[in-house]
A = this chain, B = another copy of it.
Amino acid sequence: MGLCGLGTVGQGVVELLRRNQASIDVQAGRPIELVRVASRTPKPMVDLGGAAFSTDLADVINDPQVDVVLELIGGEADARQLLLQAIEARKHFVTANKAMIAAHGDELLPNAYEAGISVGFEAAVGGGIPIIKTLREGLAANSINWVAGIINGTSNFILSAMAGKGASFDDALSEAQALGYAEADPTFDIEGVDAAHKLAIMAALAFDCPIAFPAVYTEGISTLTAEDIEYAQALGYRIKHLGIARRSARGIETRVHPALVPEQRLLAKVDGVMNAVVINSDAVGSSLYYGPGAGALPTASSVLADVIDIACNRAARPLSINGEADRLNMAEVDTAYYLRIPAVDQPGVLAQLAQILSQNAISIEAVIQREQAIRVTGSTSWVPVIILTHRVQEQAMNQALETIQALPEVVGQITRIRVEPLDEHA
């Protein structure tokens, strides 16, 4: 192996290989040796054993002893370049880089397959959970209906802290940063971009279609309030940040957003930085895969599992056999909704809201309008009206909310969060 990148994950790979060298060799059926390492940092912080070291990534590609290139440098453009060079040099390639695979997999994975090299990216989704292998191999005889997962540990940590302690989003984010679970610039995690990368990859494997990262609808968690989390709990739900990919007769939908999940679902009970993915398929029904979604050693575990697969010649099929599929845009997607509507506290307002929803063919499942929640802003006495709806197409909801938002009785911005009942075994 040749290793490009000696950050957290790169160092984890070096450590795990040293620790479990003997059993890894047995599992691989041959010795797995790290012969060369390249990193932009001139001084390696870990003992590299007998591996040669340089600061030029090309040295790894060009080393004739290197059969498998590990790309752990991160970043899209440089990693793409490295994969192109590996394809050119006919070297197998293992990466933890979800951004690169999501953005460039459609372009490059077919080339890699044609060149006869394997590209392993188990570590790109779900950290140490073998979710790529499960989608590709474990459930290979199934037709997959949907995938729904908690696939960003940072967001899940923040939501767990908000739910557990009633913390605000900002306070929970600060705690995550203090504990090293969120970066100084947390945008990719909290705005759902990281989850969207992972979801796009899972959807491609689940439905045998292109990765199509731009097609993923993405909403983060930064606008969620402790109040919504509390109302959700009162209604028997937890709010989780989910990546959801679903195939129906109308097309494939891929979306990342906060969602109310019934509290009795296992997914609702996954707290902290842990990840979990439910796969619903025709033969198995729902199955769930849970574990650490990040971290040096869990990610290294998946990187080395890919290396062992390559050493054992357990080749993966190419992606996107079926070509592009119909895709639903978000306006066409069906979900149920949680709405929080700040409305003046006077008789008839709820009837008015219900009528507008009804005119848009939206039926109501539950309403909460608490006396104790009455607030006064200036001379206006208002109350948050909480409404749970049944499933409806998003465009009907968009229309209804446009009408409701324009009512003089509605005194502030409406909050809407989708509701995902999943299934009883999720």
Contact = CB atoms under 8 A, between A and B. Distances in A.
Given A20-B282, A284-B301, A291-B284, A314 B266 contact: no
A315 B317 contact: no
A208 B23 contact: yes
A96 interface: no
B20 A143 contact: yes
Nearest to A274: B425
A332 to B, nearest CB: 25
A7 to B, nearest CB: 17
A284 B128 contact: yes
Interface in A134-148: 134, 137-143
Nearest to A268: B269
B425 A292 contact: yes
A141 B284 contact: no
Query: By CB atoms of chain B within 10 A, which of A142, A276, A314 has the most?
Result: A142
A291 B287 contact: yes
A106 to B, nearest CB: 18
A314 B314 contact: yes
A10 interface: no
Interface in A390-426: 425
Interface string A269-307: 110001010000111111111111000011011011101
Interface string A351-370: 00000000000000000000
A301 B281 CA distance: 10
Contacts of A374: none
Contact of A314 (B137, B141, B291, B301): B137
Nearest to A301: B283
Residue among A28, A274, A284, A298 with max Cβ neighbours from chain B (10 Å): A284
Interface string A143-174: 10000000000000000000000000000000
Number of copies: 2
B313 A29 contact: no
Given A128-B284, A128-B287, A308 B26 contact: no
Contacts of A139: 130, 301, 305
A134 B266 CA distance: 20
B141 A304 contact: yes
A279 to B, nearest CB: 9
Contacts of A26: 208, 317, 321
A33 interface: no
A19 interface: yes
A312 interface: yes
A129 interface: yes
A303 B128 CA distance: 25
B141 A130 contact: no
A285 B141 contact: no
A5 to B, nearest CB: 18
A303 B297 CA distance: 32
Given A269-B266, A291-B287, A425-B274, A141 B282 contact: no
A327 interface: no
A141 B291 contact: no
Nearest to A425: B274
26 contacts: A12-B283, A19-B282, A20-B141, A20-B143, A20-B283, A26-B208, A26-B321, A27-B140, A27-B141, A28-B140, A129-B284, A129-B287, A130-B138, A133-B138, A134-B134, A140-B308, A141-B305, A141-B308, A276-B288, A283-B301, A287-B289, A287-B290, A289-B289, A291-B425, A312-B317, A314-B315
Closest 10 CB pairs of A and B: A130-B138, A287-B291, A141-B304, A128-B284, A283-B301, A314-B314, A283-B297, A288-B290, A27-B140, A140-B308
